[in-house]
Amino acid sequence: MYKFKREKQISFTDFNQPLGLQMNPDNRWVKKAEMIPWETIEAEYARLFPSHTGMPAKPLRMALGSLLIQKQYHYPDEKLVEQIRENPYYQYFIGLPGYEDKITFVPSLLVEFRKRLSEEVLNEINEMIIEYNTPKDDQVDQDDDDDHGNGGGEQETN
């Protein structure tokens, strides 16, 4: 079973930081999070859970985000969970509403994440990310028109 969160994905400015913690909006994990169409991917992810009974699955952003961090640094499952607990940027990346100094999920849950996010599903997600970050044709055409214009609207006279 999968339950959609009713609120939108949290933005960096809404991430609850402990007093005194000043997170950098230019951090690579904040930038990566901005490049992923979480809501679009989540809609597809929910299809993997046709049943409306049982324990609700963890949110897509938590599952996918955790696996992306793990792939980047080759953390074993236990080490990844520990790293997420200690790193507020990782916690933001996986969609937590604020920094929490506690274990977000048990390491064995990563096995379930990997089962659900198979190579085929990850390939589909990659395509969604590429599409999300590719300028649309009309934007490219408009940019081309601006670059190849006649110099701001003035006409050359002979």
84 assigned to some structural domain: yes
Asked if 126 and 97 count as a contact pair (C-beta separation under 8 A), the reply is: no
pLDDT band at 77 (very low <50, low <70, confident <90, very high): very high
> Is 4 within 8 Å of 56 (Cβ atoms)?
no
- Residue 136's pLDDT is 83
8 is a domain residue? no
User: What span, in angstroms and rounded, lies between the C-alpha atoms of 117 and 125?
Assistant: 9
User: How many Å apart are CA 60 and CA 39, to the nearest integer?
Assistant: 9
Looking at the domain assignment, is residue 45 inside a domain? yes
Say what the pLDDT of residue 27 is: 95
Query: Does residue 106 fall inside a structural domain?
Result: yes
Selection from 154, 130, 144 nearest residue 41 by Cα: 130
pLDDT tens track for 83-131: 999 999 999 999 998 888 899 999 999 999 999 999 999 999 999 999 9
Q: Tokens 């200690």 identify what position? A: 86
Q: Which domain holds residue 82?
A: 25-134
In a domain, 51, yes or no: yes
β-bridge mates for residue 98, sequence order = 16
- The CB density around residue 25, as the number of other CB atoms within 10 Å, is 10
Query: Looking at the 3D structure of the chain, how many domains does it have?
Result: 1
| pTM tops 0.85 | no
Domain presence at residue 11: no
